[in-house]
Amino acid sequence: MDKDIKTTPQKNNKNAIIGFVLSAISIFGVRLAGIIGMIFGIVALTQIKHTHEKGKGWASRLLLSVLFGVLGLGFCGAWLKWVISS
All structural domains of the chain with their residue ranges: 14-85
pTM of the model: 0.62
Distances (CA, A) of 14 to 27, 28, 30, 57, 79: 21, 22, 21, 12, 36
What's the pLDDT tens digit per position in 17-74?
888 888 778 777 676 887 788 888 888 888 888 888 888 887 776 666 666 667 777 7
